[in-house]
Each structure stands twice: as structure tokens, then as C-alpha cells.
Structure 1
Amino acid sequence: MADDTLEENPQTKLLTGVWATRSELFAKRKTELAQFRVDELVSSVFSNGPFYHYVFDVFDLDLFYVSQNVGNIHDLDPETLTFHDILNQIHPDDMDFVARAEATAIQFFQQKLGVEKIKDYKVSYCFRARVKGGTYHLFNHQAIVLTTDPEGGIGKALNVHTDISHLTDKNNYRLSLIGMNGEPSYLDIKVDDSAGHRQPSRPVFTEREITVIKLVAEGLTSAEIGRELSLSEYTVKNHRKRILKKADCQNMSQLVASCITEGLI
């Protein structure tokens, strides 16, 4: 599930250039992150595998907070780490997709959702990144805007990167905008797609089925899920059968991998 080591670094200007050409969407100064506990928000973000997180300021790409686990995954020193050090871990062949995914997300907010909704969405897509030892694993990227300036420009953002190579090595090269606070979600978006014609994605699964999938992804057995949800083991097994049939998947591992890459969980 890992590619051969590559010596070249990705063209990070592809991504930073996207932000530079759409400067009207971003804050013109530093924004404050008052009374906010990063770890509490991270605990609410789904991650199934080794992960790290960081907060950066889009104004000057300065890192505000970095979790220590970045050293275990990328062999980088969190004390001296820069935002560009993180970008340099992205597979050179995936950098163009990352830039286009960011551009498509921005277009969505500008043309369809409204920039005032930007803090109500989680942006999700996948890319390959270099890990300790020099090989490449598939990572799920999740981003949440934390602060905006008085004009609504994006300030600080939280990024969570989860190694999902134990689940799949297949990237669908799609973008998902996952609604929070009651907002509708837009899943499996083709990058560079026209935002104006995209409709909210109707959930494939019920809320209970999504909960079951998340618990399966966390490694719980049907009996343990039953105890967690106050259901019989028989009922949980029936849920699992219906879920697999709906998703047209052969097993739960395939299902979980599909749900993560599509941004469903």
C-alpha cells in the first residue's frame, strides 16, 4: 500500500497559488483563537488510523499548534516544523489534485453555499504523503475553518491528517464538503466541477447505520456495538447486512474504506 520513495518535493506553489489568487476570501490580518480547545474539536473528528493535527493561520501560513504525533508519522520535529514542511510530505504526483480540490472547495463557497457558511463545513479529500522510512501512504485530509476576520475572511484553520493505508490504497480523487450544525453535505464532488449545478447529497445510510459503521471502523464487534447502542447482537448483525447490501460491498473493511474516502464518515 505504499509507493517507492521519491526524492523530489511536490510543487507546493500550486496550492499556495490557489489561495493567493483568491485573496478576497482570506483574512487580511492575524485572527485570534480565543477560548478554544483544539483537542476537544479533534476528538469529534472521525479518524481511523494514526493521525496528527495542526492549526495554521492562512494569513501568513504560520503554525499556531501542532500535535506531537507528527514526529511519529512523518519523522518531523514539531518544535521546528513549518507549514511548508508538511506540504513537502505530499506525493509530487498528488499536489496538483490537492490544489484543484482546494480551488473547487473555494468555488463552492463563493458560488453556491456562501462564504458565511464556511465555518459550518468540513472539507475532506485524500492524498498520498511520505511517512517515516521514506515510503508513501494514503492519508485522509479533513479541514475546518476556526476563525474569520470582521469581514468574514478565513483566518485560522484546523487540519487533521489520518493514515488510512491500512484500509485502502485507492484514492477516488474526489472532494467532499461535510455539513455541520445541520447543514447539508455535498459528497464525492469531482474537482473543478461546476458548483452552481451541484445538489446536496442524499445520505445513503440512516443515522443509526452511520453510527454502526463508525463503531465498526473503531474495531467494535457486533456484541460490543449492541451494548453501546442498547441493541441486541442480532439487530446489529442485521444492520451490518443491510449496510453492506446498500453499499454493494463484500465486507466491512471495504465499506469503511469507501466511506472514509468519500467523506461519509
Structure 2
Amino acid sequence: MKSNFNEILEFWRTEYSSKVKIYENYKSKNQLQLFANIFSPGNTYFYVINAHNLEIEFVSEGVQDVLGISAEDIDIEKILSTALPEEIESLKKKELIIKDFFFNFVDKDKITDYKAVYTYKMTNFKNECCTMLHQLTVTSVTENHIPMHVLSVHSKIEHIQKQSLPYVSFISLTGGPSYYNVSIEHEVFNPKRIKDTPTNLLSILTKREIEIVKQISNGLNANEIGNMLSISPHTVRTHKKNILCKTGVKNTAELMAKGYIEGLLT
């Protein structure tokens, strides 16, 4: 199985490291905590990796709680080794899609405007199987627009999503077009290969419904949401029923998972 992990590392070295000729330290570490909080729905750690040599330049202390590895001892190989063996092929395909998106699809001056999102399964230091939400964004590029530093945020979402999903979403951080649930089957990015599921939340929910979804994610009940929005608890519950019907999900947990994966909830 180690060879499978090495295939991913070799892919990164070939497609990224070989193109970043000059090593530069990440210069905005003091902004990382605030920035990473934008991405974090649960028990979370985050790190910055330098594409030049695949070294982790900064990692949050949360890695100890999630992986049981200290910030001083962590490296990219140890992070990869937590993934379940059956996830490796899927991870390789997801990374191929991400590479194709940033190198061949998105405009070069917009590489840092997007985050890529996907899920995977891992085993933590307690031998517990967990679903992880992986969100990444390029924070700096070379003069030739090759990703140099990448911020990765890994969050445990086992409480809202049990399965690893076979697609990747690309979400604009600046109001541009986003691409949800892109199939990994063909290993190249194609915006036409969107998973045939109900449309993404932002396009099918009203502003009021989106606000209610966000407040549900904050742990508020119908009475509290009603007080905040100056509507009755009954109206809140009616909105919630309509939201579940529109989105095609079975319950609130699935709704929250969909919201995090699509970037509606942060």
C-alpha cells in the first residue's frame, strides 16, 4: 500500500514540484488562522504545503486532536497514510481533476480565486474510521502561474456525512462561477460532467431558505431562528420541509453535509 501513497507523491512532484524552480517561504502565516476558519465546519486542522519540495511550512495545533500527531512531527506522507487503502485510487483521480482544473481550465489570474472540495475516509489514531472534508486553495503562484503554496483544511464531518463521495467541487471565493459535484470518472475536469443530482443549494433555494439553512448549521432551533428572522416557529418548520423537498435530501444531517461540501456553509 505504501507504493500507492508514493504514486500520489510522485504525481505531485512531477506535476507541481518540477515546475516550481525556486523555493520561497510562505509569507502570510499570521493570516492563516483567520483564513482557515472560513473553511472549518468541524474538528479541523490546516496546513500550508510548499509545492517546490512538498514540505509542510505551517500546520495548526489541531492536527494533534484529529490525527494524534504533533505539529512538529507531521509531514505529507503521514497525512496520506491515514487514508483508508480503498480510498487511494479515488484520491488519485480527485487530484488529477484538481490539477486539470488549475492548469488547463481556470484563467491563470484566477487560480487563487477558487477552493477545491472533496471527501475521503481515514483512520485516526484511535483506529476510528472518519469521513474527512478536504478543502484546498492556492495561496500563491510563481511568475508562470504555477501553484507554489497551497492551504489545505481537513475537517471531520462523520457526524453529517458517512460516505466518501466520488466527485470534486470547485467553488469561487470571489463570486465567480462555481462547479459542483464534478465526476472523477474520466480523470479530467469537464464542467459538463456534473453528477446528476438535485442542483446546488445556491441555485435552488431562496434567500430566506439559505438564511434558515445557515442558522440550522449554527445549532439554532425553530424558535430561535424565528426570533432572529421575525417569523413564527411554524413558518421556520414549513421552510425547512420545503428545503428538504427541494434539495432531495432525507434529513437535516444530509442537508448540512450538502451545504458544507458545496461551500454554502463554511
TM-score, normalised relative to structure 2: 0.85
Deviation at 1:235, TM superposition (A): 4.0
| Structure 1 SS opposite 2:141 | coil
Deviation at 1:230, TM superposition (A): 5.4
Q: Which residue of 1 aligns with 2:37?
A: 43
Give the Cα–Cα distance (whole angstroms) in 2 for the partners of residues 24 and 50 of structure 1: 30
The answer to whether the 8 A contact 2:47-2:58 is kept is yes
Distance verdict in 2 for CA 1:240–1:145, change over 3 Å:
same
Give the Cα–Cα distance (whole angstroms) in 2 for the partners of residues 16 and 120 of structure 1: 25
**Structure 1 unmatched ranges of 5 or more:** 1-7
Q: Which residue of 2 aligns with 1:255?
A: 255
Distance verdict in 2 for CA 1:206–1:22, change over 3 Å:
farther
The answer to whether the 8 A contact 1:70-1:76 is kept is yes
Distance verdict in 2 for CA 1:57–1:247, change over 3 Å:
same
Give the Cα–Cα distance (whole angstroms) in 1 for the partners of residues 263 and 3 of structure 2: 24
Deviation at 1:196, TM superposition (A): 4.7
| Structure 2 SS opposite 1:255 | helix
Q: Which residue of 1 aligns with 2:166?
A: 173
The answer to whether the 8 A contact 1:57-1:63 is kept is yes
Further displaced range: 159-168 or 215-224 = 215-224
| Structure 2 SS opposite 1:155 | strand
Give the Cα–Cα distance (whole angstroms) in 1 for the partners of residues 151 and 230 of structure 2: 34
Further displaced range: 213-222 or 36-45 = 213-222
The answer to whether the 8 A contact 1:127-1:139 is kept is yes
Give the Cα–Cα distance (whole angstroms) in 2 for the partners of residues 222 and 26 of structure 1: 53
The answer to whether the 8 A contact 1:28-1:153 is kept is no
| Structure 2 SS opposite 1:45 | coil
Q: Which residue of 2 aligns with 1:155?
A: 148
Give the Cα–Cα distance (whole angstroms) in 2 for the partners of residues 63 and 229 of structure 1: 44
Distance verdict in 2 for CA 1:117–1:100, change over 3 Å:
same
Deviation at 1:164, TM superposition (A): 1.0
Spell out the pairing of 1:231-246 with structure 2 (5 A cutoff). Answer: 231-246=231-246
Q: Which residue of 1 aligns with 2:92?
A: 99
Give the Cα–Cα distance (whole angstroms) in 1 for the partners of residues 73 and 37 of structure 2: 25
Distance verdict in 2 for CA 1:27–1:204, change over 3 Å:
farther
Spell out the pairing of 1:1-265 with structure 2 (5 A cutoff). Answer: 9=2, 11-23=4-16, 26-35=19-28, 37-47=31-41, 49-191=42-184, 192=186, 194-196=188-190, 198=192, 203-229=203-229, 231-262=231-262, 264-265=264-265
Distance verdict in 2 for CA 1:194–1:238, change over 3 Å:
same
- RMSD over aligned CA atoms reads 2.6
**Structure 2 unmatched ranges of 5 or more:** none
Give the Cα–Cα distance (whole angstroms) in 2 for the partners of residues 26 and 205 of structure 1: 42
Aligned residues: 257
| Structure 2 SS opposite 1:195 | coil
Letter in 1 for 2:35: L
Letter in 2 for 1:44: I
Letter in 2 for 1:147: S
Deviation at 1:189, TM superposition (A): 0.6
Deviation track 1:167-219 (CA, whole Å, cap 9, x = no partner) reads: 22122211100111111110011113553553897623244433432331232
Deviation at 1:264, TM superposition (A): 4.8
Deviation at 1:86, TM superposition (A): 1.0
Distance verdict in 2 for CA 1:150–1:226, change over 3 Å:
farther
Give the Cα–Cα distance (whole angstroms) in 1 for the partners of residues 135 and 108 of structure 2: 18
The answer to whether the 8 A contact 1:138-1:169 is kept is yes
Further displaced range: 33-42 or 253-262 = 253-262
Give the Cα–Cα distance (whole angstroms) in 2 for the partners of residues 40 and 10 of structure 1: 36
Equivalent pairs: percent with the same residue?
A: 25
TM-score, normalised relative to structure 1: 0.85
Letter in 1 for 2:223: A
Letter in 1 for 2:36: V
Deviation track 1:106-151 (CA, whole Å, cap 9, x = no partner) reads: 2123332233322111100000111121232110100011111222
Further displaced range: 189-198 or 147-156 = 189-198
